[in-house]
Amino acid sequence: GMGVDVGLIRKFSEYTSIGINASGLLPMTTKWSTGTTEITPSELTTGIEHRRGDFSFLIDSSMQFTGKGLGLDSVKYHVGTEYHFSKNFKIRLGHSSYHLVTAGLGLHAGDYMLDYSYLDSGSFIYIHYLQIHTSMDNIASLLGNVDP
């Protein structure tokens, strides 16, 4: 399925930044070949990154909004580190409260970033994400060049 996420990042110093992300702003429904229908809940995530040299250390927490209220089971955490091979290439490794292992890599090219993530939830449940990121300024610039 497809979804819509929106996030903001505020850099407080050369080394430290915080962010907030709202994911699943539009309800995403996945219909599996087995006939099962799955609705992905909206989620609000806040986090902090601290960078030293070629390494970044990250921690965040998230809350899911399922329409059934917020319980303690809806609050999750993630911790990890990211190594910057270059300005345009990074790899990540981490752990979260609901994934045993998380890993990924990011590739920057101009105004875009291609991001791959791997999540291992145990019991042979493996998740792969592929995302493309860009800035709102870039989108506005692209839309400004389109004739109606």
Distance CA(148)–CA(145), nearest Å, equals 10
Hey, which bits of the chain come out as E strands?
A: 6-11, 16-23, 28-31, 37-40, 42-52, 55-65, 75-86, 89-96, 101-109, 112-120, 126-133
Residue 41 DSSP class: P
Cβ atoms within 10 Å, residue 2: 6
- pLDDT tens track for 2-55: 677 888 999 999 999 999 998 888 777 778 889 888 877 788 899 999 999 999
> Mean pLDDT score of the chain, rounded to an integer?
84
Q: For position 74, what pLDDT does the model report? A: 75
Distance CA(88)–CA(4), nearest Å, equals 25
| Residue of 24, 21, 17 lying closest to 8 (CA atoms) | 21
Taking the CA of residue 59 as centre, how many other CA atoms within 13 Å lie in the half-sphere pointing to its CB?
Answer: 1
Asked if the model's pLDDT at residue 125 lies above 80, the reply is no
Residue 86 backbone phi and psi in degrees, to 5: -155, 180
3-state secondary structure of 35: coil
